[in-house]
Structure 1
C-alpha cells in the first residue's frame, strides 16, 4: 500500500473515531424522543377521549391542554419513577460495561419498545408502554446473565422488579374497585331521575333534545378537571420514564463525562470522604448487617497493604468493606476531581454507586434503628 493511500486510510479512521460515537449518541437521542412521541400519541387519548367525545372541549384545545399538564407533571412529579427504571438493571451491569455494551443495551431496549408500541398502535390494540419498557429492561438483564454465566437472581434487581410488578398488578385492581364503587353509589342513590338520564345522552341525542351538543356546565367542568388530572398524573409517572431513558443513555454511552460532579468543592469532597469513613466504621462494628444482606457468612476482606487490587471491580454487598477502602484510598488528599484520571473517576463512581446500593439494602433491614438509617442515608 502506497503512503498516500495509507494516509487516506488513517484519515478515515480518525474521522470515524471522532464522529461515529457522536453519531450514535445523536441517534440514541432521536430514539428516546421517538419513544416519548409514541408514548404521547399512545397514552394521550386516555386523558382527552372523554372531553372530545362529549364535546366538552374542542380536540385541538384538549390535546394542547393534555400536553401542558403532562409537562407540569414531569416538572413537579419528582424523579422516583426515573430512578426505578434505572435501578431495575443490575448495578454490576451498569457500572462495569463499556460504551459498546451500553450502545447495545440502550438500542435493544428502545427498539423493542418502539416496535411493540408502533405495532399495537397500528392494529388498534390497547397496550401499556410502561409494561413494554419494563419487559425490555428485564430482557436485557436476563440476556446479560446468560452471556456472562451469572445467575438470574444476580442478573436482576429482584426487590425493585417485585415492587414494580406489584404496582402494575395492583393499580388496575385499585382502579376497578374505585370505579365500580363509584358507579354502584351513583346507581344506588341517583337512579330514576331526569338528571341521571341526561348524562348518558350522546352529543347527537343531546342536540336533538336540547338543541346543543355540549354537555351541561357542571358536567363539562367535571370532565375537564378529570382530563387535567389524568394528564398531570401521566406526566408525573410515565413522563419520568423519558428521564430514566436519558439517564441510561448518559450512563451507557457517555460515562466518562457524567461520572462525578467536576464542579464539586473541596468541602463537598471532604464531606464525601467523612461519610465513607463513618459508613466503614459502622459496618466494621456491625458486620452482621452485611452478612444479612448478602446471605453469606464470610465477607470479602480488604487486600493487604501493598497488594495489587484487581482492575475490574464487581459490585456485591460482600465486597463492601473492600469498596470502602478503595474509595478512601482514591479520595485521600484529593481537593478536586480534576486530579483524578478519567479511569479513576469512572472507578470511583462505580464504587460509590455500589456502596449506595448496599446501604439502601441495609437501611431496609428490621434491626436498623432510625439513627443508623440517617447515618447510612447521609
Structure 2
C-alpha cells in the first residue's frame, strides 16, 4: 500500500480524500437513483417484501462487480486520457476531476429529487467529455484534443443502441408470451396483497436477481472507473501500472515486448504511413524493454517511469489494434496470434482495479440501495 501512494504530499493527500469522498457520494446517489430499476416489479407484484428485495438486489449487484470483469470500467477510464490530467499539473488536474465529479453528482441528485428519468451512465460520461472539451479550449491546446474520440464513438454507439435493442427484445418477448402462454393472470395487475402464482413469482424473482447482477457487472463499473481515474490522475506513480503483478506475470510482459518486436521486424509493408506508425511502436517497445528488463516485480520499476510505461503499453496496443483492424499489418497466422496474445500480456500491466476499489465502490452503492429500501418499506 505504501508503494501505491509514493510521493503523495499532505496537500494532494487531502485533495485525494476529498475527490474520493465525492466519487463515493456519486456512487451513493447512483445506488438509490437506480434501485427501482431492479426491484420495482417484485415489490409491486408482492413477490417479495421491499426489504428482502432490496437486500437481495444489493447482494447480486455486489457480486456482479467482482465477477463481471472490468470492460466497462476501462472504457470509462479511457474516455479521458490520463496523460491529460498528469500533464496539466496537480492544480488543473484536480480542478478537472472535481468538476466532473460535482457535475455528475449534482445532476444525478437533482433528477432523483424531482423524479425525472435520467441515466447515471449518460450523466458521468457527459461530465467527463465536458471536462475534456473545456480543457482543450484553454490557450495552447487544440480544440477537442482532450478527449479519446475513438472510445467516445464506441461508448456512444452502445448507449444509443442499447435502449433500442432492449425495447425490441422486450416487445418480441411480450408478443411471444401472449401467443404461447395463455394464463390470464400473467397479464393482469396483482389483486390486493395476494402474490402472483408461484411460477410467475419465481420468474419475477429470477429477473430481479438477474437485473441486479447485470447492473453490478455493467453499470456498477462506472464507479470503479471513476475512482481509478482519480487515483491515476493524482497518484500516477502508485496506480499507473498494476503493482500487484507477480514475477511470472512480469516475465510474461517482458517476453511480450520481445515477441511483438520480433514480429514487427519481419512485417512487410510498403505504405509510408504504416511504416511510420510501426517505427513509433518500435521506439515505444525499445523504451519498454529498457525499463521492464531491469525489473522482476512492478514495484521495482522507478516511480517516475511508471506512467511512461503505462503510456507506452496503451499506445502500442492501440496502434497495433488499429493496424490489425484496417488490414494494414499483414502477418502469418501463427505470428498474428502470438502478437495478439502478447498484447493481452502487456495489458495486464494497465488493465486492472485493486480489490479494495471494487469493494468500497459497491459498498457505497449497496448502502444506498438499503437506505432506499428502508424508505420504501
Q: What TM bracket, shorter-length normalisation?
A: 0.7 to 0.9
Counterpart pick for 1:349 among 305, 310, 332: 310
Where do 1:27-66 residues align within 5 Å?
27-66=18-57
**Aligned partner of residue 364 in structure 1, secondary structure:** helix
In structure 1, the partner of 2:217 is 236
Counterpart of 2:69 in structure 1 is 78
Summarize deviations over 1:150-199 as a string: whole Å, max 9, x none.
253x43323322221111111111111111112223344556xxx41x34
Question: What is the match of residue 206 of structure 2?
Answer: 225
- Once residues 281 and 96 of structure 1 are traced to their aligned partners in structure 2, the CA distance between those partners, rounded to angstroms, is 32
1:175-214 aligned within 5 A? 175-189=166-180, 195-196=183-184, 198-203=185-190, 206-207=191-192, 213-214=194-195
Q: Which residue in 1 is equivalent to 2:336?
A: 372
Tell me the CA shift for residue 141 of structure 1: 2.3
- Aligned partners of 2:203, 2:262: CA distance in 1, in Å? 57
**TM-score w.r.t. structure 1 length?**
0.77
State the 1:36 CA deviation. 1.0
Q: Equivalents in 2 of 1:186, 1:333: separation in Å?
A: 63
Q: Is the 8 A contact 1:74 1:236 kept in 2?
A: yes
TM-score (norm 2): 0.77
Aligned CA RMSD, in angstroms, stands at 3.0
Q: 8 Å contact 1:99–1:254 — kept in the other structure? A: no
Matching of residue 161 in structure 1 with residue 152 in structure 2: yes
CA drift at 1:289? 9.3
What residue is the counterpart of 1:174 in the other structure? 165
The separation in 1 between residues aligned to 2:266 and 2:88, in whole angstroms, is 33
Deviation at 1:336, TM superposition (A): 6.0
Quote the offset at 1:125 in angstroms.
0.6
Q: In structure 2, how many angstroms separate the alpha carbons of the residues matched to 1:271 and 1:115?
A: 44
The equivalent of 2:128 in structure 1 is 137
Q: 1:260 to 1:131 in 2, by over 3 A?
A: closer
Maintained 8 Å contact 1:290/1:318: no
1:74-113 pair list within 5 angstroms: 74-90=65-81, 92-93=83-84, 96-113=87-104
Three-state SS of the structure 2 residue aligned to 1:299 is helix
- TM superposition shift of 1:269: 5.0
Higher RCO (CA < 8 A, seq sep 6+): 2
Distance 2:206 2:45 in 1: 14
Counterpart-to-counterpart distance in 2, 1:289 and 1:169: 39
1:92-139 Cα distance to aligned partner (Å, 9 max, x none): 425645433432232122111101111111110111101111111222
Q: Mind listing any 5+ residue stretches in structure 1 that lack a counterpart? A: 1-16, 301-316
Question: Would you say how many aligned residue pairs link Structure 1 and Structure 2?
Answer: 331
* Residue aligning to 2:226: 245
Contact 1:97 1:252 in 2 (8 A): no
| Structure 2 runs not aligned, ≥5 long | 1-7, 343-377
Distance 2:200 2:339 in 1: 52
1:359–1:376 CA contact under 8 A, matched in 2:
no
Structure 1 residues 326-365: aligned runs within 5 Å: 326-331=287-292, 333=294, 341-365=302-326
Partner residue in 1 for 2:276: 299
- Deviation at residue 75 of structure 1 after TM alignment: 1.4
Kindly tell me: are residues 269 and 168 of structure 1, through their superposed partners in 2, closer, same or farther at Cα, counting changes over 3 Å?
Answer: closer
> 2:281 matched to which residue of 1?
320
Q: CA deviation at 1:337?
A: 6.0
Asked if the contact 1:363/1:373 (under 8 Å) is kept, the reply is no
